[in-house]
């Protein structure tokens, strides 16, 4: 049966192609799992009922009628989809726990730094505190990414074979592409390029971009 993914029908230009429903879309595309989209108006208050599915009104959320479940958080959704097909989550014990470990690492050890960088460069651009914070943040992020590059060097994918761990990590690294943090580390740049060159990623990205409507008209 078709799973249902919740996404947005509009976001600001800087967020297009980066909204987190891209992650389950990509996973579904990798294994040929049909999915439908429930698109919310990002510029309007969320329907009150949606907060019963996602307490903060964020996306994605997922409905899987095969298992009769509703869930939220992209990492949990990726893990659930990985259970459906070994092309997303290895079945051997070590491969499985390695993929799961890197899935958590992407969201807990790497992504918070990309959030903070986006905050100071987009939402707090020009503010004095952001300018003061940037050098130490870049240094610390670089140290984390150096460790990641060392771990990836010599292997194609994080768990040996492509998995949900790579969907998580590649989508996190895309958030800072163009900052120099990835480009200055050839191992990470090559890894990211391998990931986003996959046909399933390209299909998922094109599908997300196609769902965005023109910007809402300004109120008179």
pLDDT tens figures, 136-171: 989 999 999 999 999 999 999 999 999 999 999 999
pLDDT band for position 218 (50/70/90)? low
Q: Which residue has the higher pLDDT, 99 or 179?
A: 99
- For residue 220, is pLDDT > 50? no
Question: Which residues does residue 69 pair with via DSSP β-bridges, in sequence order?
Answer: 64
User: Which CA distances in Å does 8 have to 46, 47, 60, 148, 211?
Assistant: 11, 13, 9, 31, 8
Residue 196's closest CA among 220, 166, 217?
A: 166
For domain 3-87+202-211, give the CATH number: 3.40.30.10
Mean pLDDT of 199-208: 98
Q: Is the pLDDT of residue 66 over 50?
A: yes
- What is 93-198's CATH number, 1.10.150.120, 1.10.10.10, 3.40.250.10, 1.20.1050.10? 1.20.1050.10
CA distances in angstroms from 104 to 80, 108, 180, listed in the order given: 14, 6, 24
pLDDT of residue 219: 42
């Amino acid at each position: 049966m078709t799973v249902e993914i919740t996404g947005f029908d509009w976001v600001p230009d800087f967020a297009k192609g980066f909204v987190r429903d891209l992650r389950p879309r990509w996973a579904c595309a990798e294994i040929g799992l049909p999915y439908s989209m429930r698109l919310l108006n990002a510029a309007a208050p969320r329907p009150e009922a949606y907060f019963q599915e996602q307490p903060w009104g964020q996306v994605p959320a997922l409905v899987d009628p095969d298992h009769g479940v509703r869930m939220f958080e992209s990492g949990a959704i990726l893990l659930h989809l990985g259970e459906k097909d070994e092309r997303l989550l290895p079945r051997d014990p070590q491969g499985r726990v390695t993929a799961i470990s890197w899935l958590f690492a992407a969201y807990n050890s790497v992504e918070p730094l990309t959030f903070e960088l986006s905050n100071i460069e987009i939402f707090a651009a020009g503010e004095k505190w952001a300018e003061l914070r940037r050098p130490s943040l870049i240094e610390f992020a670089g140290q984390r990414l150096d460790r990641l590059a060392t771990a990836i060097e010599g292997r194609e994918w994080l768990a040996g074979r492509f998995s949900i761990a790579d969907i998580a990590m590649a989508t996190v690294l895309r958030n800072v592409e163009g900052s120099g943090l990835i480009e200055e580390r050839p191992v990470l740049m090559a890894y990211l390029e391998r990931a986003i060159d996959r046909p399933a990623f390209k299909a998922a990205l094109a599908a997300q971009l196609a769902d965005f409507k023109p910007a809402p008209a300004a109120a008179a």
